[in-house]
Structure 1
Amino acid sequence: MKNYPYPMLNPPSFRWRSNEAITEPKVHEWIQTINEEETPDWGRYDVGILGVPLSRSSISASYASENPDAFRREWKSFTTYNLDEDEDLSELNVVDLGDVRQHVTDISICHRNIREAMIAMQKNHPELLPVMVGGDHSITAMLVKGYKDVHPHERVGILQLDTHFDLRDLTDNGPSNGTPIRNLIESQVIKGEDVYNIGLHGFYNVYSLKKYADETGVNYVTMKQARKKGIENVINEALSDLSNKVDTIYFTVDMDVLDISFGPGAPASTPGGMYTEELFEAVYLAGKCKKVKAMDIVCLDPQKDMANATVKAGVHVMLSFLTGYKKRRKE
């Protein structure tokens, strides 16, 4: 097969050996890969996992580029059965598409490839739910732009779980992991009023970014407010408000939203963040929402992790989201 499975992608760097006789698979035995010698039958798949190994555009030094492979290695620690929701994900057909090709030094080429990868996904198999594993948060702007390129008439909103606004000025920060939401607003891909950011807290955002958020109509709920109101209520309200306004919700999870005690492998994680159970509930609810048509998990550096705690939390985030998605399909 030429141009696996389209030009800007590389196959997964390694693949787990699958045993077809297993009736209760682990996640690494369940997620499929593409036979490079054949043209894929896209109609058989429900979900596509795409690695986006870019971290050169991170403000702070990061090995988030290593995260897609760290995810793949950690799949062996999980089963497909979610006891909390009594759901078995093995009924979904999930394929690991591999990784977006990255240039050694040129971030603009990396970003172009990411955008083109999303374009190719939407053109070749629009019914496949895209789940992207980053990489730093700069990838979100490129992925949303790629989606919008194929669906120019759709109004796209953002549900963002994050410690930060990610609204830094592009004139001095460029297309970095601190600017993806501002990038999308100023390029008129999305409206500020269609952004809902949940999880901001403490002393990790400057006043000028709050002012910009207020001026552009960005909706945000601090972690303190979310705890008082209940994370389930806050997420459901955001999803409801967005669903009433937009055609598509793009869901982005910055792993630094976790409290540093739960997410030591997120370079910018801080005290006062989300607990893992709050994050898992939030992504489960997002997965259930029919307007959520793509999601990413970003800003996780496996080399800074401790006992793989954050990588495991990240895989749990992906599986919790897919649990919600499976519930959505059943309903």
Structure 2
Amino acid sequence: MQKAGGPAFMDRHFPKAAELLQSWDGKEAVEGLALIGVPLSKPSISHSGASFTPGVFRRLLQSYSTYAVEDETELLSSPKLSDMGDIVMHATNVEESYRRIEETVSSLMDANPSCLPIFIGGDHSITYSTLKGLSGKKGTVGVILFDAHHDLRNTEDGGPTNGTPFRRLLEADLLKGENLVQIGIRNYSNSAYYHQYARDQGVTIFSMADVKKQGIAQVMTSAIQYLEDKVDHIYVSVDIDVLDQAFAPGCPAIGPGGMTSDQILEAIHLLGTREKVCGLDMVEIDPTIDFRDMTTRVAVFCLLEFMRGRASM
């Protein structure tokens, strides 16, 4: 007999990435990486089933090994990834769900100060609450955002949605514009008004043209050096729509002209090597419209590459 939900075929010499997950008992202090599901997608401007992503994400860890051949890194030799479970959302009240995210993250971080959370959304509106929950960290926090959009829409026209998290963070003085770096912003995904708003707030913007001309390694070096000189902690937010639609069919806001999966994986691996990174979220994946789980698989690889980066520290 084998554990229910396990892989259909098992090879004793081929450990699966799911073995990296370590169930948390809620008592022992967690040090290192911790996986936290944030299954909220009701505030999405577009129809979204992103609330189903945490479960699919965990299942797909069965599809990959723990070994990186390029630098011969065995992730099983690194500290395991603690699975803290999913934050329980309110069935109908979005504001209550935001409150639950914020309070849960805050209490988890208070009890586990050495924990580095990996949040699996959910739509991008969760970032306001996850980052607010981390606001008790000593010192200033900066953000590196991978996104096709600025996500600086006003809240008057539609309330807090997945298009507003960074506007809300700026207006709540939880984040300074000069401490926000946006990477992958692309044509026909934003308006002139919000692009100018980002500039007025002092946001650093690397468009897709910058990524293509400079290369992702140079963009990341510039972004990291800029923030590390200004802040005490760096939070990373990955909106999967930063990818070209060819690499992310299971995304509500797909479009051409985006990043490749190679580019985002290189960027996330590099961020994994940086001591100041204090948290990471991956959002806007909708498994209900995906093809062969292609989009969630990119997110799983991002996690593994981040872990590989941490293992090299």
Taking structure 2 as the reference length, what is the TM-score of the superposition?
Answer: 0.94
* 2:182 aligned residue: 197
| 2:75 counterpart (89, 109, 115) | 89
Deviation at 1:41, TM superposition (A): 2.2
User: Match for 1:46: what amino acid?
Assistant: G
Whether 1:110 and 2:97 are equivalent positions in the alignment is: yes
1:16–1:29: 8 Å Cα contact kept in structure 2?
no
SS of residue matched to 1:42: coil
Across the aligned residues of Structure 1 and Structure 2, the Cα RMSD in angstroms comes to 1.6
Distance in structure 1 (CA, Å) of the matches to 2:13 and 2:88: 35
* 1:48 aligned residue: 34
Distance in structure 1 (CA, Å) of the matches to 2:14 and 2:22: 15
* 2:268 aligned residue: 283
| 1:64 counterpart (39, 50, 61) | 50
Deviation at 1:174, TM superposition (A): 1.9
* 2:251 aligned residue: 266
Distance in structure 1 (CA, Å) of the matches to 2:71 and 2:298: 17
* 1:9 aligned residue: none
Taking structure 1 as the reference length, what is the TM-score of the superposition?
Answer: 0.89
Whether 1:213 and 2:213 are equivalent positions in the alignment is: no
* 1:34 aligned residue: 24
* 2:298 aligned residue: 313
Structure 2 unaligned residues grouped into runs of 5+: none
Structure 1 unaligned residues grouped into runs of 5+: 1-13
Deviation at 1:29, TM superposition (A): 2.3
1:15–1:33: 8 Å Cα contact kept in structure 2?
no
- Cα deviation digits, residues 91-117 of structure 1 (max 9, x gap): 222111110010000001100011012
- Cα deviation digits, residues 122-152 of structure 1 (max 9, x gap): 111110111010000011111111111x22x
Distance in structure 2 (CA, Å) of the matches to 1:240 and 1:70: 35
- Cα deviation digits, residues 44-65 of structure 1 (max 9, x gap): x421100000000111110000
1:251–1:294: 8 Å Cα contact kept in structure 2?
yes
SS of residue matched to 1:173: coil
Distance in structure 1 (CA, Å) of the matches to 2:109 and 2:13: 32
Deviation at 1:87, TM superposition (A): 1.4
Q: After the TM superposition, which residues 87-236 of structure 1 pair with which residues of structure 2 at under 5 Å, given as runs?
A: 87-90=73-76, 91-148=78-135, 150-151=136-137, 153-236=138-221
| 1:301 counterpart (282, 286, 293) | 286
User: Match for 2:302: what amino acid?
Assistant: V
Higher mean Cα deviation, 113-122 or 22-31?
Answer: 22-31
1:173–1:179: 8 Å Cα contact kept in structure 2?
no
User: Match for 1:47: what amino acid?
Assistant: L
SS of residue matched to 1:129: strand
1:157–1:242: 8 Å Cα contact kept in structure 2?
yes
SS of residue matched to 2:312: helix
SS of residue matched to 1:110: helix
Identity, in percent, stands at 37
Distance in structure 2 (CA, Å) of the matches to 1:85 and 1:53: 34
Deviation at 1:30, TM superposition (A): 2.5
Distance in structure 1 (CA, Å) of the matches to 2:166 and 2:272: 21
- Cα deviation digits, residues 280-311 of structure 1 (max 9, x gap): 00111111111111000000000110111111
Distance in structure 2 (CA, Å) of the matches to 1:130 and 1:163: 24
Deviation at 1:269, TM superposition (A): 2.0
- Cα deviation digits, residues 234-262 of structure 1 (max 9, x gap): 01110110000001111000001110011
